[in-house]
Amino acid sequence: MSAREGRSGAPERAGGADLVGVLVLGACAGWSLVSAVGREARPEGVLLAVLAVAAGYALGRISGGLVPVAAATAAALAGLVVALASRDGVPGATVDPLPGHIGVSAALPVLAAGGACCAAWAARTAALRLALRLLAVGCAGVALALGSVAGCAAALGVLLCSLAAVRMRRRAVGLAGLAAVTALVAVGSVAVAEDALPSGLTVSLQGQLTPERVLLWRDAVDLAEKHPVRGTGPDRFGGLSPAAQRSALTTGKPHSALLQQASEQGVVGAGLLSAAYGWMLYGLWRSPRPTAVVLTAGAALTALAAFACVGNALSFTPVTMGVGLLAGLATARPPGDGRPEPDREAGVVRARG
């Protein structure tokens, strides 16, 4: 099987994805400054998040190109350590006190599971692959121990998607499916905030999301409708939301990255956040790594994107850096002669078929 077949027909050139990433991240940083002009806003949080993603992506590209198995394994273990230590005051990883939160305890184990599964596909021995997949199971256990059922389920889901990815011949189909899942969650969160769903379904979802979160989402939609272009300004939601002012547990966030962007930076900010996710999927499609690695990373990033739509996961620097790191590892050029890495496992499965 040729190297090109190992990549499921993905284009050979990857430089375009890097250029898109520079433009998207630069636009995210620039628009946060534009939306803050003339207001008592604080764009530092957005700038720090952009810097964390860029730094993680660069680190992933460099380390993944040199030692892909060791780098992905180290990233997974580091994510678990930070998740376990987050309750003890790790900078930027404070546990979110809102009931039903989806923060560090959910996001980092999922990213760690993605890293472990990516390392497993890059490993050359069956024993090492088994050990790394058991590490992914351990990531789910850590999430459950931290009280995050959603994180546990998502980590196991990433492992199952990774095992199933070996049979996927066209990565574009798999990535499109992952994008559809994220879009469904995003549209659903907006529909809940707009009270546009049937009453029975709304009541059921409110029970899962907590009434406090739904009230915050509705305030975010109201602010976005009043300031559709530039929003209210970065980090101003807490001072303008009646629900946030009444509660001592919200930390001034609407607990939805999409609705926070829409309320604080308008439709442009929300569009740029969506574009950042789209850039990562585009980079995975153009990646020289095997399809199994690409879809594994895509599954982990999609789970994180879903968490970001209904929780506060992207408010923590370790999470945003982990997102960039995993994307960088999955798009790094494999060591050797620079040619795309052959999809060994997929070749074995097809040969048996």
pLDDT, tens only, 181-240: 999 999 999 999 888 888 777 777 777 788 888 899 999 999 999 999 999 999 999 889
Residue 275's Cβ-count burial label (10 Å; 0-12, 13-18, 19+) is middle
Tokens read off for 221: 């939609």
Longest dimension (CA), the chain: 65
Q: What is the mean pLDDT of residues 303-332?
A: 93
Confidence of residue 336 (pLDDT cuts 50, 70, 90): low
Q: pLDDT digits over 245-290, tens only?
A: 887 666 778 889 999 999 999 999 999 999 999 999 999 999 999 9
Each domain of the chain, given as residue ranges in start order, spans 14-352
Rounded to an integer, what is the distance from CA 66 to the centroid of its chain? 24
pTM for the whole structure: 0.88
Confidence of residue 102 (pLDDT cuts 50, 70, 90): low
pLDDT of residue 343: 53
206 conformational bin, left if phi > 0, alpha if psi -120 to 50, beta if neither: alpha
